[in-house]
Amino acid sequence: MGIFDFFRKIAKTGNVEEIVIEKLAFSEIKGWIERKIKENELKEKEILLGVGKTTEIFIKELREKIVILENFDVEARKEKEDIKNIVIDSREKYIEFLEDLIKRLNDLEEPKLEKFTGKINKIFFDFNKSAIKNYERATILIGKEMGSIKESLKVFSKDLLKTFKEGKSITDSFKNLLIIKEKLSMINQIDETLGRINGKKSNLNKKIIEKEEENRILKQSLEKIKTSSAYLENLTKQKEIESLKEKSKKNILELKQLIDFKALANFFHIFEEQMIIVKTHKEDFQTNFQEDDGKAIIRLLDEAKLSNDLILEKLKQIRGKIEETLNHKKNLKKDETQEVYLKIKEVSLEIDNLKIEKVKEEKREEKLRANKEESITSLKQELGKMNVEVV
């Protein structure tokens, strides 16, 4: 058994301590923690100094009683020699354990009360575990002297037990202060992160405003280009080109109607290469005609002598439209709006990305603020355990 096992029950006082609630502003908590830690360290030091003095007195008293125990004349007792020998041997071993106890108490150095309590408890646990049998055997013939030592151990243990019980509030206070300090540090870290998020949001807002202004200027530039005479003239040419393309497509379809594909197939049915040209043009005349400007199908018509004036005239119309289209394209200037449209699209995408990033930061901020509120509530609860109210 350890030092705390010497006494099973401690008398309880009937005094009721008045609870005083200390009120603190949130900004005062850090200073309060530091002040409380220093106060506890001073109290802890005072307790340990008191324990040290008590231990010195106990060791001095124990040494005096060891001398008395050593001088006890076992041989003078009327008892069998084997019993005397057992008692003498047990006394010597018990004294060795007492000396070891004294040495360990003298060597014990620990500035923290909680660890000191654990170490001294182990010292007494080890002593009692090792010395109990020798104590019981020695008391066969040495009752009063052994009992005196046991009484000294009990008194010392009782004094320490009382001291450690009184010091438990300091140990508990240290634990609570550590928890409070960690929670306060967590809140401060959240505040620092929130500060960085606010800075980032401010920077994002600035960039969004700048990009929106850039977009506004680009759109103004676009409108200016679209109302210029050069652009309108170019637009007219583009419309003419599209009109010529549509007329050319119509003429090509009309040309297809004039061609006798059945006669062509009959003429070239034994020629695989020519039949492929006939078949592809019959299936998709528009595409295949435009690929080579109608050269392949006209060549086959000439070889088969299936061309006629209507076909030639329609072909002339088609080629005229193509030539006219090419001439218009040569005179067509670069569409300045396309570059501006691309730039507007690019800037709009940048704005969208900036806004998405801002939303992410806002969600992160919202989560952190919720965590902060939870941490503050938890901090207040811990402070409440120490009779402190945050106002």
**266/352 same-domain check:** yes
DSSP code of 227?
T
Buried b (16+ CB within 10 A) or exposed e, 68-92: ebeebebeeeeeeeeebebbbebbe
- What are the structure tokens assigned to 366, written together? 């919202």
Nearest CA-CA partner of 135 in 122, 124, 149: 149
pLDDT for the residue numbered 18: 67
Whether residue 8 is contained in a domain is answered as: no
Task: Name the one residue in this structure whose structure tokens are 């199908």.
Answer: 297
Whether residue 4 is contained in a domain is answered as: no
H or E stretch including 390?
strand 388-390
How many degrees, rounded to 5, is the angle at CA 111 between CA 110 and CA 117?
60
Alpha carbon distance 321, 247 (integer Å): 8
Whether residue 382 is contained in a domain is answered as: no
pLDDT in tens, 24-79: 999 999 999 999 999 988 998 998 999 999 999 999 999 999 999 999 888 888 88
Tell me the residue range of the domain where 138 lies. Answer: 26-185
Give the CA dihedral 342, 347, 353, 357, nearest 10 degrees.
170
pLDDT in tens, 266-323: 998 888 999 999 899 999 988 998 888 888 888 988 888 988 889 888 888 888 888 8
Residue 387, classed as helix, strand or coil, is coil
* Number of domains forming the structure of the chain: 2
Whether residue 194 is contained in a domain is answered as: no
**217/164 same-domain check:** no
**278/175 same-domain check:** no
Backbone dihedral region for residue 335 (phi beyond 0: left; psi -120 to 50: alpha; all else: beta): beta
Q: Tell me the pTM.
A: 0.60
pLDDT for the residue numbered 12: 37
**166/250 same-domain check:** no
Q: How much is the mean pLDDT over the chain?
A: 88
Alpha carbon distance 162, 50 (integer Å): 12
Which of these three, 170, 185, 200, is where a domain ends? Answer: 185
The phi and psi torsions of 388 (rounded to 5 degrees) equal: -125, 135
Task: Name the one residue in this structure whose structure tokens are 């005397």.
Answer: 84
pLDDT for the residue numbered 242: 86
Query: What is the number of other CB atoms lying within 10 angstroms of the CB of residue 275?
Result: 16
pLDDT for the residue numbered 164: 85
**241/108 same-domain check:** no
Q: Which amino acid is at 34?
A: E
DSSP code of 139?
T
**65/168 same-domain check:** yes
**238/372 same-domain check:** yes
Whether residue 109 is contained in a domain is answered as: yes
pLDDT in tens, 188-224: 999 999 999 999 999 999 999 999 999 999 999 999 8
Report whether 251 contacts 321 (CB < 8 A). Answer: yes
Which of these three, 126, 151, 185, is where a domain ends? Answer: 185
Alpha carbon distance 3, 23 (integer Å): 39
